[in-house]
Amino acid sequence: MSPSLVMFLGFIAITLWITWWAARRNTGSNAYFAAGRSLTAWQNGIAVAGDYMSAASFLGIAGIIAFQGYDGFMYSVGWLVAYLTVLLIVAEPLRNAGKYTMADVLAYRLSPRPVRAMGALSTLTVSTFYMIAQMVGAGALVSLLLKDAGLGYETAVIGIGVLMIVYVVFGGMLATTWVQIVKATLLMAGTLLLSVLVLRHFNYDLGAFFDAVGHVSYTDAQGNRVTQDFMTPGLRYKPPYGALDLISLGMALIFGTAGLPHILVRFYTVPDARAARKSVVWAMAIIGCFYILTTFLGFGAATIVGRDFIAGNGGTNMSAPLLAQALAGDLFFAFISAIAFATILAVVAGLTISASTSFAHDFWTNVLHHGRERREGEEVRVARVTAFFVGAISIAIAIVLGPNANVAFLVALAFAVAASANLPVIVLSLFWRRFNTAGAVCGLATGLASSLALIVLSPSIMKAQAIFPLENPGIVSIPLGFLGAVIGTLLTREPEAERKFAELSVRANTGLGAERAAGH
Amino acid sequence: MEQQPPNTDLTPVTGSATDVAPLGRGGQKPAHELTADEDIDAVEWDRLAALADFKALLAAKRRFIVPATVFFIVYYFALPVLVGYAPRLMAAKVFGVVNVAYLFALSQFFVAWLVALLYVRAASRFDAMARAVVDQFKARPR
Q: What is the pLDDT of residue B25?
A: 45
- What digits encode the pLDDT tens for the residues A457-481? 887 767 777 788 888 888 999 999 9
Which positions in chain B touch A510 (Cβ < 8 Å)? Answer: 48, 54, 57, 130, 133-134
- The arithmetic mean of pLDDT across residues A134-151, rounded, is 71
Q: In this complex, do A247 and B84 lie within 8 Å of one another by their Cβ atoms?
A: yes
pLDDT the model gives residue B115: 95
The better pLDDT of the pair B94, A133 is held by B94
CA distance A21 to chain B (A): 26
- Split at pLDDT 50, 70, 90, the class of A424 is very high
Q: Which residues of A touch B80 (CB under 8 A)?
A: 74, 243, 246-247, 249-250
pLDDT at A405: 58
Interatomic CA distance for residues A168 and A70, integer angstroms: 38
DSSP state at residue B23: -
Give A196-214 pLDDT, tens digit per residue. 999 999 888 888 888 888 8
Contact A234 B87 (CB under 8 A): yes
Q: A240 touching B, CB under 8 A?
A: no
- The 3-state DSSP class for residue A374 equals coil
Higher per-residue confidence, A422 vs B21: A422
| B22 located within any domain | no
**What's the rounded mean pLDDT across residues A343-365?**
80
Q: Which pLDDT score is estimated for B123?
A: 92
Instruction: Provide the b/e sequence for B31-52 (b: ≥16 CB within 10 Å).
Output: bbbbbbeebeeebebeebbebe
User: If one looks up domain A3-403 in CATH, what number appears?
Assistant: 1.20.1730.10
Chain B residue nearest residue A230, CA to CA: B97
B128 inside 8 A of chain A by CB: no
B84 touches chain A (CB under 8 A): yes
Decide if B8 is inside a domain.
Answer: no
CB-based contact B130 A509, cutoff 8 Å: yes
The percent of residues above 70 in pLDDT, for chain A, comes to 93
Q: State residue A316's pLDDT score.
A: 78
CB-based contact, A507 to chain B, within 8 Å: yes
* Chain A interface, best mutation among B76, B88, B94, B129, by max A CB count within 10 A: B76
Answer whether A109 touches B (CB < 8 Å). Answer: no
* pLDDT on residue A520: 40
Strand B93-95 relative to strand B98-99, pairing: antiparallel
> Which residues in chain B are contacts of A292 at CB distance < 8 A?
106, 109
Query: CA of B5, closest CA in chain A: separation in Å?
Result: 16
Interface test with B, best of A84, A295, A470, A504 (most B CBs within 10 A): A84
Q: For B12, left (φ over 0), alpha (ψ -120 to 50), or beta?
A: beta
* Partner A contacted by B54 (CB < 8 A): yes
Q: Tell me which chain B residues have a C-beta less than 8 angstroms from the C-beta of A208.
A: none
Which residue in B71, B97, B129 has the most chain A C-beta atoms within 10 A of its own C-beta, making it the best mutation to test that interface? B97
Q: By residue range, what is the domain housing residue B55?
A: 31-139
Nearest-Cα distance to chain B for A64, in Å, is 15
Q: Is A229 on the interface with B (CB under 8 A)?
A: yes
Residue B49 · residue A506 · CB < 8 Å = yes
Q: Would the pLDDT of B117 be above 90? A: yes
DSSP A259: G
B80 touches chain A (CB under 8 A): yes
- The confidence score (pLDDT) of residue A189 equals 92
pLDDT at res. B11: 47
- A99 touching B (Cβ < 8 Å): no
Angle at A39 between CA A38 and CA A40, to 5 degrees: 120
How confident is residue A338, by pLDDT bands cut at 50, 70 and 90? confident
What confidence tens digit (pLDDT) does each residue in A94-120 have?
888 887 788 888 888 888 888 888 888
CB pairs under 8 A between A and B: 153
The reply to whether B102 falls in a domain is: yes
Rounded average pLDDT over B112-132: 92
Please give the pLDDT value at position B24: 44
Confidence of residue A231 (pLDDT cuts 50, 70, 90): confident
Residue B15 has pLDDT above 50, yes or no: no
Instruction: Count up the domains in chain B and report the number.
Output: 1
The per-residue pLDDT for A242 is: 80
pLDDT above 50: residue B23: no
More confident residue, B119 or B10: B119
pLDDT in tens, B25-74: 444 555 566 555 555 545 677 888 888 888 899 999 999 999 999 999 99
Q: Would B43 be classed as within a structural domain?
A: yes
Please give the DSSP secondary-structure letter assigned to residue A218: E
- Look at A503 and B46 and tell me if their CB atoms are within 8 Å: yes
Higher-confidence residue of A264 and B41: namely: A264
- Best of B54, B62, B109, B115 to substitute, by most chain A Cβ atoms within 10 angstroms, is B109
Pairwise CA distance, residues A91 & B110, whole Å: 21
What residues are paired with B95 via a beta bridge? B98
Does A510 contact B134 at a Cβ distance shorter than 8 Å? Answer: yes
CA distance A452 to chain B (A): 24
Task: With a cut of 60, say whether residue B16 has pLDDT above it.
Answer: no
Mean pLDDT of A136-165: 73
CA B60 → CA A250, A317, B56, distances in Å?
A: 29, 46, 6
Q: Is residue B55 part of a domain?
A: yes
Looking at residue A311, its amino acid is A
Q: Please answer yes or no on whether A210 and B84 come within 8 Å at the CB atom.
A: no
Distance CA A77, CA A288 (A): 8
Residues 99-118 of B with CB under 8 A from A: 99, 101-102, 105-106, 108-109, 112-113, 115-117
User: Phi-psi category of A402—alpha, beta or left, where left has phi over 0 and alpha has psi -120 to 50?
Assistant: left
**What confidence score (pLDDT) does residue B61 get?**
92
| Average of per-residue pLDDT across A421-433 | 90
Looking at residue B70, what is its pLDDT?
A: 95
Provide Rg for chain B, Cα atoms. 25
Cβ–Cβ below 8 Å for A250 and B80: yes
Q: Which amino acid belongs to residue A267?
A: F
What average pLDDT does the structure give for chain A?
Answer: 83
* CA-based nearest distance A141→chain B, Å: 29
pLDDT of residue A267: 86
Q: Helix, strand or coil for residue A39?
A: coil
* Helix, strand, coil share (%) of chain A residues, nearest 5: 80, 0, 20
- Residues of chain B found within 8 Å of residue A78, distances taken between Cβ atoms: 76
Listed by start position, the domains of chain A span: 3-403
Whether the CB of B71 is below 8 Å from some CB of chain A: the reply is no
CA A186 centroid distance within chain: 18
Q: Does residue A236 carry a pLDDT above 50?
A: yes
Q: How much of chain B exceeds pLDDT 90, in percent?
A: 35
> Residue A28's CB: how many other CB atoms inside 10 A?
13
B9 within some domain: no
